Chain A
């Protein structure tokens, strides 16, 4: 396959960036998008120019490191896959592909396509945990969980924290990320003790860094794990409820 790549190059967080064009005369259709950039980088190194900086780790869609805006869509046009799982056979021979980093105030560019996504960790710190007893491990089936609830929590837990939702959102909101992380803990019995502090803590922290959700739904289509905006409704509902909760009564069952 012959492809033409237009890739964002930026030397550092405060440097001016620019697009640079690279001809790729021999792309193997079975390469992943990242492997194609590896090939390009090897060529750049042999030409003694700077290789393109980009984040990657697992290359199997589970770590959330890879982050590229491909032809105006986070992780490219293929639904439900991360950039590392996107194969070149999904593109047409002779196609021009534009690659940009995620863009958001709180995702500054470190270099080229690599951005700093640490604000997502700040949101986790603000409530994305449970308190668990230490000591001997408890029996795995000690707490019964309805099947639907377990499935829903698992759907939310599929979030790999790549930040595609922020990148896709016209408002630069991290609502889907926060909602997924919130949902996967708060839908389960183990997540109940901190449920209300979690809702307030995570939302308030999120709003210090990111925009607000206006229900465009772009995030859900960009998400490599196809996490539903249903979780955003859950987060909104629990945030509102949490405002009115008397937490001293939250140990009572009903």
Chain B
């Protein structure tokens, strides 16, 4: 079948973007928006897995100072002695960093593509029927989360935000000393609300991007997203909330 190229029929006739250049399959995959969405879903799952485990681990703060400090120490020694200390930890960190970079890179590139798809917008107000608040604010909750991750690392990993008596490894005291500062506690709470909103759309949307769709379990996809988003948000928020209200000290 010969392809009819879109000849210039009139001034302003639409022209397509150039066809994708050939390359190795993973590059071709990355060059397609459907492929990028797939990568966003897969990296999203990795990040959800991390956030969930991170939350579970941190809830140990409610058991005792020893429990969470031990847990933190255990993270450094997984796989020891077959691997050097913190070996597994660094592999996990590298994986996470890779996932974050790909997730944001794909999002930025798709945003550019989507803006270009409608350079001249509607001149009268749009009436959205299905696109909910969470879906429409993915970019903004994403940006809030990126900024929050940087702050969180500066705060509790590197101790650069003036946490009183900050000592690497002294997890319990570092957390309590950080979260007793009211503005910091509020920042953590707001960021975790943003995580909840981001996941409300993301944890549903990933099924579509991965092509997981069947009448049998479709009704469960939204429930899964709501459940996951609220467990993570509530679990994480409970820590700064109970510290700042002096329940945990």
Complex Cα distance, B218 from A217, in Å, reads: 14
Q: Are B37 and A214 in contact (CB under 8 A)?
A: yes
Q: Are A13 and B10 in contact (CB under 8 A)?
A: yes
Cβ of B163 to closest chain A Cβ, rounded Å = 38
Task: Report if B83 contacts A (CB, 8 A).
Answer: no
Task: Report if A226 contacts B (CB, 8 A).
Answer: no
Task: Report if A21 contacts B (CB, 8 A).
Answer: no
* B-side contacts of A222, CB under 8 Å: 129
| Interface bin, chain B | 35 or more
Q: Are B209 and A216 in contact (CB under 8 A)?
A: no
A106-B14 contact in complex given A204-B32, A212-B33, A214-B37, C-beta closer than 8 Å: yes
Q: Are A243 and B35 in contact (CB under 8 A)?
A: yes
Cβ of B219 to closest chain A Cβ, rounded Å = 12
9 new A-B contacts, CB < 8 A, other than A213-B33, A236-B211, A243-B28, are A14-B12, A105-B117, A106-B14, A170-B114, A209-B14, A216-B130, A235-B34, A237-B211, A240-B211
B residues apposed to A, CB below 8 Å: 1, 3-4, 6, 10-14, 16-20, 25, 28-29, 32-38, 110, 113-114, 116-131, 135-136, 138, 201, 204-205, 207-213, 215, 218
Q: Are B123 and A218 in contact (CB under 8 A)?
A: no
Give chain A's interface secondary structure class.
Answer: mixed
* B-side contacts of A107, CB under 8 Å: 14
Contact of B34 among A13, A110, A119, A203 (CB under 8 A): A203
14 A-B interface contacts by CB (under 8 A): A13-B10, A103-B118, A104-B117, A118-B14, A170-B126, A171-B117, A204-B19, A211-B33, A211-B113, A212-B36, A213-B208, A214-B110, A215-B208, A236-B209
Task: Report if A129 contacts B (CB, 8 A).
Answer: yes
Cβ of A125 to closest chain B Cβ, rounded Å = 6
* B-side contacts of A122, CB under 8 Å: 4, 6, 16
Task: Report if A19 contacts B (CB, 8 A).
Answer: yes
Cβ of A210 to closest chain B Cβ, rounded Å = 5
* B-side contacts of A230, CB under 8 Å: 213, 215, 218
A116-B125 contact in complex given A218-B131, A240-B38, A243-B35, C-beta closer than 8 Å: no
Residue of B nearest to A76 (CB): B127
Interface size on A, residues (CB 8 A): 62
Cβ of A68 to closest chain B Cβ, rounded Å = 12
Contact of B208 among A77, A209, A232 (CB under 8 A): A232
A211-B12 contact in complex given A73-B129, A218-B128, A236-B210, C-beta closer than 8 Å: no
Cβ of B90 to closest chain A Cβ, rounded Å = 31
* B-side contacts of A69, CB under 8 Å: 122, 124
8 tightest A-B contacts by CB?
A: A237-B211, A13-B12, A211-B117, A172-B117, A212-B33, A233-B213, A72-B127, A171-B114
Q: Are A218 and B129 in contact (CB under 8 A)?
A: yes
Contact of B1 among A71, A129, A236, A237 (CB under 8 A): A129
Complex Cα distance, B13 from A215, in Å, reads: 29
The contact string, 1 if C-beta is below 8 Å from chain B, for chain A 74-95, is 0001000000000000000000
Residue of A nearest to B41 (CB): A236
